[in-house]
């Protein structure tokens, strides 16, 4: 197996509805928030953990490919031959404890932090919370009609977060260029997420997001060695088309 290069995808995640990705409730207060959002411990700004984003895309791709585990566990093909041809295992990775030789995880997903424009908007919020909003919810006991109110914390609709994903390409000449084919599966997972939800309470309207890709960069192995910036594309489709046509690592910088 030989490393051939990285596809680096950068852009913004826009919240079409309020977003709740839960954090730890360190302090219990009377009348306080029942379910706080996760925050950066230094800046106290809400953010989207890369693990939440990657995990949700993996889950949706498991459904799309029919790979859902009947016990509810994370999918694992269980054999090297199956894992090598499985987009879930190849793109999103498998546990090192499984001892399957299928190469490194192709996809890296960074934490997504808010844009400067979003932080400025948050500072103008008049909600009584730091950079977020209250969402009061209630459910009624069907027998006694007893109300059970709770307070949820959400990132407001319209907030934007900078995201970055890095997709590693290996063995471009292994008969079929499978890493490029699996890169299409990342596109599918992103589209599935846009029509599903991120975070909690999605069935109640939370977590609708949209990806806005702004830059797709290909950096070959030679680019890293020579200190070159690589080639920039407007879309992921353009990058895949270019790589699939007449790909040559030595010519990637030309």
**Per-residue pLDDT band at 176 (split at 50, 70, 90):** very low
Q: In which domain, by residue range, is 35 found?
A: 3-247
The verdict on residue 193 lying in a domain is yes
Within-domain flag for 101: yes
Q: Is residue 83 part of a domain?
A: yes
Residues whose CB falls within 8 Å of the CB of residue 191, separated by 6 or more in sequence, listed in order: none
The structure's pTM equals 0.84
pLDDT band at 242 (very low <50, low <70, confident <90, very high): confident
Name the 3-class secondary structure at 99.
coil
Residue closest to 196 by CA, chosen among 57, 55, 9, 11: 57
Asked whether residue 158 is domain-assigned, the answer is yes
> What is the domain count for the chain?
1
pLDDT per residue as tens digits for the range 177-225: 467 778 888 999 999 999 999 998 888 889 999 999 999 999 988 999 9
Tell whether 254 is covered by a domain.
Answer: no
Q: Looking at the domain assignment, is residue 115 inside a domain?
A: yes
Q: Is the pLDDT of residue 254 over 60?
A: no
pLDDT band at 28 (very low <50, low <70, confident <90, very high): very low
- Asked, for residue 252, whether it belongs to a domain, the answer is no
Residue 253 in any domain: the answer is: no
pLDDT for 137-163, tens place per residue?
767 777 887 877 677 889 999 999 999
How many other C-beta atoms can be found within 10 angstroms of the C-beta atom of residue 163?
Answer: 23
- Between residues 14 and 247, which one has the greater pLDDT? 14
Maximal C-alpha separation, the chain: 73
- SS3 of 10, please? strand
């Amino acid at each position: 197996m030989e490393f051939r290069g990285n596809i680096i995808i950068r852009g913004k995640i826009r919240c079409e509805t309020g977003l709740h990705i839960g954090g730890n409730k360190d302090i219990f207060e009377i009348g306080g928030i029942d379910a706080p959002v996760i925050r950066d411990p230094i800046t106290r700004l809400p953010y989207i953990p890369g693990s939440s984003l990657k995990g949700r895309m993996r889950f949706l791709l498991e459904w799309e490919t029919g790979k859902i585990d009947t016990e509810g566990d994370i999918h694992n093909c269980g054999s090297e031959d199956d894992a090598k041809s499985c987009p879930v295992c190849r793109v999103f990775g498998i546990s090192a404890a499984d001892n399957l030789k299928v190469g490194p995880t192709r996809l890296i997903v960074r934490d997504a932090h808010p844009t400067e424009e979003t932080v400025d908007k948050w500072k103008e919020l008049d909600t009584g919370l730091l950079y977020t909003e209250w969402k009061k919810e209630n459910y009624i006991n069907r027998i006694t009609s007893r109300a059970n109110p709770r307070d949820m914390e959400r990132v407001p609709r319209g907030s934007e977060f900078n995201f970055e994903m890095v997709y590693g390409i290996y063995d471009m000449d292994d008969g079929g260029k499978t890493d490029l084919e699996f890169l299409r599966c990342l596109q599918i997972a992103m589209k599935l997420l846009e029509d599903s939800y991120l975070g909690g309470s999605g069935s109640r309207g939370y977590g609708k997001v949209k990806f806005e890709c702004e830059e797709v960069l290909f950096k070959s192995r030679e680019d890293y060695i020579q200190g070159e910036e690589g080639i920039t594309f407007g879309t992921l489709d353009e990058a895949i088309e270019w790589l699939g046509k007449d790909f040559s690592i030595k010519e990637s910088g030309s």
